[in-house]
Amino acid sequence: DTAVSQTPKYLVTQMGNDKSIKCEQNLGHDTMYWYKQDSKKFLKIMFSYNNKELIINETVPNRFSPKSPDKAHLNLHINSLELGDSAVYFCASSLSGRGDTQYFGPGTRLTVL
Amino acid sequence: GDSVTQMEGPVTLSEEAFLTINCTYTATGYPSLFWYVQYPGEGLQLLLKATKADDKGSNKGFEATYRKETTSFHLEKGSVQVSDSAVYFCALSEKSTGRRALTFGSGTRLQVQP
């Protein structure tokens, strides 16, 4: 059974389009995250939700909008895609009060043409 | 703010060589420290962790000790294998502020040659 899953795994799209990435975890965790990994492999937090409430929102363009319909899901919607949005996006989850170990999904490679 | 500094890669070793990847950190409180590994084309997997000073994390022959006095969490393995070739990330989580996001180092690519 997959613990943290993301769809799609690959996403190729044109500049200006709107796209969504979905994330689901079946670990019973209460906190979920989105990270962005750039072409140099550097990883940076974008958003974090705890029990469906936004707790971290780094300086991310407001074209990026996370949505958490329930504790097991955290989706990422991106409007008006730009070339610089090309990256690998990782979803992760953790259980607060348990050493904060985060479990990562397989990543979504977004390519904007 | 919090930060993690890792040695630059790539690190190229022959099979059965000793591995050290240096990691130092800056944090305002008492962070938990982690090593994650990313194999080619895959997501991040937790390799090991330590939650307080002098704790030693270990897994699959890898070890790292939380050194508060030197603010370090160096990764070591006594004898590397070709299958250990991957990118290794040192990371911290700041517990005291309630900010649960991980702050990552820049990653170190390890290449092990047969």
Residue numbers in A near B103 (CB within 8 A): 45
Count of CB pairs separated by less than 8 Å, A with B = 59
Q: What is the pLDDT of residue B61?
A: 97
Q: How far apart are CA A22 and CA A102, in angstroms?
A: 18
Cβ of A42 and B51 within 8 Å?
no
pLDDT digits (tens, 9 = 90+) for A19-56: 999 999 999 998 999 999 999 889 999 988 888 888 87
pLDDT digits (tens, 9 = 90+) for A67-79: 999 989 999 999 9
- Of A9, A3, A20, A10, nearest to A81 by C-alpha is A20
Q: What is the pLDDT of residue A59?
A: 76
Q: How far apart are CA A13 and CA A111, in angstroms?
A: 6
Residue numbers in A near B93 (CB within 8 A): 100, 102
Q: How far apart are CA A29 and CA B13, in angstroms?
A: 38
Best residue in B4, B30, B38, B102 for a mutation probing chain A (most A CBs within 10 Å): B102
Mean pLDDT over A89-113 rounds to: 89
pLDDT in tens, chain B (114 residues): 889 999 888 999 999 999 999 999 999 888 999 999 999 888 899 999 999 999 999 999 999 999 999 999 999 999 999 999 999 999 998 866 666 789 999 999 999 999
